[in-house]
Structure 1
């Protein structure tokens, strides 16, 4: 061009991304992550307990209503050594385990049936949906009328609570198995029994176990509430009776035991789930922030 200079084309820039520390050494990064998670899991409760101890010792809170953690631990150890704590702990544990097993068995059977049969879903789902929204503690008077005083109403209440969690998770998990899995089984000529055993059940089992673990924790909550009303032993009765007698240190011992029982029970279900479904990712590893 005359009287003008041709503009030079801008030079192309290449952006090079250097690998991060986690990419250069994934094993070391994973170890650091596990150390951090363990430190937080231990550190946060320790800090909160230390603050509680300090507040009680300095008189910032009323130690008669909120005993110091050291006082609670001392009374818990004393009751454990004297043998006073174990009968209540065993009574609650027995009720939780028996009610959980009964409710899980019924929930699994009905969930599998309704997950694989549209006819069963059409017949039973509206009724079960209506019963699901009823607070389970509201059923305790009915169970008392049915079974009388004793273990029956408490076991029935735990079983009813667990049933709904397991039923919903099982039915939903069976229905959520990808259609591609079913088509692959059909292509290989799988019978209905083989389709259920080798396709539907393995595909749904991880989600079923998640619902089962949630039910395990809720079962502890329900039995403690039931023992407030319809029991003469157990951790729920210990908590309620201690509060009535203004033995707040013993009350907190019962609360700590309930918390430990719930954690142990849920972790047992998690452990069994990992052994039953080694192909499924651990829910703790699904999301990393």
Structure 2
């Protein structure tokens, strides 16, 4: 092989600069716009197809009303208020959800962080908690009714227990997966256990912990609606409204309830996500719309 051939073999190709390399700010701006268009465009297309199917008679409009019918029902429900005060039900459901979510997060963080740091505690409690995790949470409503009474406490307890397991598992894994190199570096400076936790373990685990908080926020809404289907003190709440609409064959009101529940979930998860971004500025924030 000649010297020229050898030079050709080892010569590296020049990489053509990408759009992100040439103008990073413009590239990020265009990508964010594209993300918004995709996120908004998909539901718009689905609603358009639904509207066409309903108005063309391809689906039974009595059970699958057109989106325009649902929008009209929402306006009548919240403006003219012919079917009771929905705002009261929303307020009651939000209060129940926040209480349950708060208690679940509190205990979930405590057990998750401590079990992640102390192996003996993890070995002792993890098998029992794993067994309890598999128990259907709605099945606990009867026990909680007997123990806590016939008010909001059983409903809040079911939400709290459900949230607890999601936060506990995510927090424990987040603490356990903190890189050993970071911990060894802190120990080399003779850091105390508290300093190690405060300056290394907790900041490193916090982004993953907030991921668990986001997931459990959506789970809290799901559990709230599910429990209110079967037990709703005072016959109030979003879940009760949806179930009552199903019972009296009022699909428009059922769809209103579903949209209210979906909106509540999106708002709650988004709030947790924004708080997580503000409290973990050192982490790599994803750029999804929601």
Q: Pick the TM interval, shorter chain.
A: over 0.9
Most deviating of 26-35 and 63-72? 26-35
TM-score (norm 2): 0.92
- The alpha carbon displacement at 1:271 in A equals 0.6
Q: Deviations over 1:40-62 (max 9, x none)?
A: 11111111111111111111111
Give the structure 1 partner of residue 247 of structure 2: 244
Match of 1:127 in 2: 128
Unaligned runs of 5+ in 1: 1-5
Aligned position for 2:113: 112
Q: Which residue of 1 aligns with 2:8?
A: 12
Output one character per residue of 1:100-123: Cα deviation in whole Å (capped at 9) or x when no partner: 001100111111211111121122
Q: Does the alignment pair 1:152 with 2:148?
A: no
CA distance in 2, matches of 1:254, 1:114: 39
Cα deviation 1:199-219 (Å, max 9, x = unaligned): 111111110110011000001
1:263 to 254, 261, 266: 266
Match of 1:235 in 2: 238
Q: Is the 8 A contact 2:32 2:287 kept in 1?
A: no
Answer with 1 or 2: which has the greater Rg: 1
1:91-102 counterparts in 2 under 5 A? 91-102=92-103
In structure 2, the residue corresponding to 1:141 is in which secondary structure?
helix
**Residues in 2 aligned to 1:61 and 1:219: alpha-carbon distance in whole angstroms:** 33
CA contact (8 A) 2:159 2:224 kept: yes
Q: Output the CA distance in 2 between the equivalents of 1:213 and 1:37.
A: 20
Scaled by the length of structure 1, the TM-score of the pair is 0.92
**Superposition CA RMSD, Å:** 1.8
CA shift in 2, pair 1:183/1:48, >3 Å: same
Q: Where do 5+ consecutive residues of structure 2 fail to align?
A: none
Q: Describe how 1:268-287 pairs up with structure 2 within 5 A.
A: 268-284=271-287
Deviation of 1:12 after TM superposition, in Å, equals 2.9
Tell me, in whole angstroms, the C-alpha distance in 1 between the residues paired with 2:183 and 2:174.
14
- What is the alpha-carbon distance in structure 1 between the residues aligned to residue 73 and residue 4 of structure 2? 82
- Work out whether 1:23 is the aligned partner of 2:21: yes
Residue 82 of structure 1 and its aligned partner are, at CA, apart by 3.7
CA shift in 2, pair 1:260/1:7, >3 Å = closer
Deviations 1:113-161 (A, max 9, x none): 1111112112211110100111211222211221232201110000000
Distance 2:31 2:204 in 1: 30
Structure 1, residues 245-276: CA drift from partner, whole Å, max 9, x if none? 01100000000000000000000000110111
- Matched residue, 2:172: 171
Report if the CA contact (8 A) 1:149-1:230 is conserved.
no
